[in-house]
Chain A
């Protein structure tokens, strides 16, 4: 009762990274609140997946397995969550801010009449004093998220309704195994008790999922280009530098819109959130939406001919100059001084 529960999402039979990230966060919140961390897995062919889930410090794993539950469909999955939450009364429920989590979360929250905060970038535990009601709430979930196009950061709370629900985007939180031999309990749910036949109204006619080829999120070095790079031709320089440094190429929205790079490379609020060791921003002016997706990089280098580009404010190193002049110099030095 009153535990933390994480909805584990499946991506073509594998547990999505975002779910592991949420389990990691969930574990640390559970330690703070002195409650259990629980997980819920819904789908088909789920054997052995518990072995990947328990090491994140999961005390209880609920499994709903049935071939009708795969692939994901709104109503059956909603029904399981709603019924399980009514029964178990978790205090916090977390899910990925993915096409699945953002389809499922609002539906569940509406059904339970509990609050949901989308796309949180931080989750913390804290207190709240309602001066009007002269009431103090302890150990609430602070759901922190950018709003207004990333121009403000809002802290949202749900004082009275449970569970306190939040979604978080992939890559925003870290994933970390607590103990490879962590002993949790597995509970198989009787699917018929949780899902009504009337939930199966949606028919999947066709599905094409590509395994993602581009993964800039996990890259330690990102060489990212903006509109200021000037052309797809100049972008090739970024690829040369990225390859040399063992990194990936990222892009701003403006560069993606201009056709210089694929959407999968877009860094920022509507793209991927990254936190590499080194982020080299080439010809990126630094719209707030972009900065929101990369400002936690350890070292930021900005190469820009405009000394007043907003991104320079958050950069550790600013190189005033043209991308097509600067990058070849970096490549030359690196080649000469490393093996």
Chain B
């Protein structure tokens, strides 16, 4: 039976979906500091697809790869709890300021180092940028085909895969060989929950530098339990052209950022009394907005 090498790409993101009242500053802008950092939701959907492949082909190996600051190791741990076999944190100051192109270049170099990936799965987009670019750009850098907006793997055999895609007004089922990259849509099934045994096993897993940073007591036990040490790669560990990394490797620049502040329009507040509503409706009709 085929043993697939699967790489899942994941990103740790600020939870922008539920910007509640307390996350808004008095001037109407968002207070990013209070937003929790989470596993990008569609990347979790991607992990689920990888786990399903492994359910069908149990010899397969799932490697979770994330690029980000040291604390992004949290989502690797989360991936271990849910069934990932290996995790790699790609972290280096040289990556700072990367746009999607520089990000996908760095990630593609890391995937080359992982070697022989058959299937790369990631979320369609991350909720902090919503660009949906990194998946296809990684595929292009690796020179492999892509299937975006995937909802379900319909068929998987040793040498081909059929995937259902969710389009604006319908669906499409496409077939392709390996290797390939799949981006998973938000309509795909949610990820299975944490596994209690795995939670116990990986609770103290971390990278060496995170441990050193926090003077972690588990350093000694990590030496006897290799699964507690999560791999950490820097620029020096991947074969790459430094010119294509970070700010230098980013063709797009942010010229400026405006916080959204909602200006009050000239507005009128009325109660739900008959005469008030009648007056409003009459105004709308006479100004030809309705009627």
Q: How far is the CA of A157 from the CA of B131 in the complex (A)?
A: 15
Chain A residues in 8 Å Cβ range of B282: 333, 337
Taking the complex as formed, is A338 at the interface, i.e. its CB lies under 8 A from any CB of chain B?
yes
Taking the complex as formed, is B168 at the interface, i.e. its CB lies under 8 A from any CB of chain A?
yes
* Complex interface residues of chain A between 315 and 330 (CB less than 8 A to chain B): 315-322, 325-326, 329-330
Give, as a whole number of angstroms, the nearest-CB distance from B79 to chain A. Answer: 23
Given contact pairs A107-B136, A210-B169, A314-B264, enumerate 15 new A-B contacts (beta carbons under 8 Å): A103-B136, A110-B104, A142-B255, A203-B174, A204-B173, A204-B174, A205-B173, A278-B289, A278-B290, A316-B268, A317-B269, A318-B270, A320-B271, A330-B281, A334-B285
B252 & A116 in contact (Cβ 8 Å cutoff): yes
Q: How far is the CA of A307 from the CA of B269 in the complex (A)?
A: 9
Taking the complex as formed, is A118 at the interface, i.e. its CB lies under 8 A from any CB of chain B?
yes
Give, as a whole number of angstroms, the nearest-CB distance from B182 to chain A. Answer: 12
Interchain residue pairs A-B with the least CB separation, the first 5 = A321-B272, A149-B16, A115-B251, A115-B252, A209-B170
Chain A residues in 8 Å Cβ range of B274: 329
B130 & A151 in contact (Cβ 8 Å cutoff): no
- A11, A148, A158, A277 interface centre (most CB from chain B within 10 Å): A148
CB-based nearest B residue for A295: B262
A209 & B167 in contact (Cβ 8 Å cutoff): yes
B128 & A201 in contact (Cβ 8 Å cutoff): no
How would you classify the secondary structure of chain A's contact residues: helix, strand, loop or mixed?
mixed
Taking the complex as formed, is A98 at the interface, i.e. its CB lies under 8 A from any CB of chain B?
yes
Give, as a whole number of angstroms, the nearest-CB distance from B288 to chain A. Answer: 9
Chain A residues in 8 Å Cβ range of B277: 319, 326, 329-330, 333
* Complex interface residues of chain B between 218 and 267 (CB less than 8 A to chain A): 250-260, 262-267
Chain B residues in 8 Å Cβ range of A337: 281-282, 285, 291
Q: How far is the CA of A265 from the CA of B270 in the complex (A)?
A: 28
Q: Tell me whether A288 and B19 are in contact in the complex, defined as CB-CB below 8 angstroms, given that A115-B250, A316-B265 are known contacts.
A: yes
Taking the complex as formed, is A51 at the interface, i.e. its CB lies under 8 A from any CB of chain B?
no
Interface magnitude class on chain B: 35 or more
Q: Tell me whether A321 and B169 are in contact in the complex, defined as CB-CB below 8 angstroms, given that A152-B257, A316-B265 are known contacts.
A: no
Chain B residues in 8 Å Cβ range of A150: 16, 260
A316 & B267 in contact (Cβ 8 Å cutoff): yes
Q: How far is the CA of A89 from the CA of B177 in the complex (A)?
A: 33
24 pairs of residues in contact across A and B, judged by CB atoms under 8 Å: A74-B145, A98-B168, A99-B165, A106-B100, A107-B136, A109-B101, A109-B133, A147-B129, A147-B257, A149-B19, A151-B16, A154-B257, A155-B257, A205-B173, A207-B172, A208-B172, A212-B169, A277-B289, A278-B284, A313-B267, A314-B263, A317-B268, A329-B274, A334-B281
Instruction: Mark B residues whose CB is within 8 Å of A.
Output: 14, 16-17, 19, 29-30, 32, 99-101, 104, 127-137, 139-141, 145-149, 162, 165-177, 250-260, 262-272, 274, 276-278, 280-282, 284-285, 289-291
CB-based nearest A residue for B276: A319
* Complex interface residues of chain A between 95 and 137 (CB less than 8 A to chain B): 98-99, 102-103, 105-107, 109-111, 113-119, 128
Partner of B132, one of A102, A277, A301: A102
Chain A residues in 8 Å Cβ range of B148: 74, 99, 102-103
Chain A residues in 8 Å Cβ range of B29: 151-152
Q: How far is the CA of A70 from the CA of B101 in the complex (A)?
A: 28
A157 & B253 in contact (Cβ 8 Å cutoff): yes
Q: Tell me whether A99 and B168 are in contact in the complex, defined as CB-CB below 8 angstroms, given that A155-B254, A158-B251, A206-B173 are known contacts.
A: yes
Q: Tell me whether A158 and B252 are in contact in the complex, defined as CB-CB below 8 angstroms, given that A106-B100, A325-B272 are known contacts.
A: yes
Chain B residues in 8 Å Cβ range of A148: 14, 16, 30, 32, 128-129
B176 & A201 in contact (Cβ 8 Å cutoff): yes
Chain A residues in 8 Å Cβ range of B149: 99, 103
Give, as a whole number of angstroms, the nearest-CB distance from B42 to chain A. Answer: 12
B272 & A201 in contact (Cβ 8 Å cutoff): no
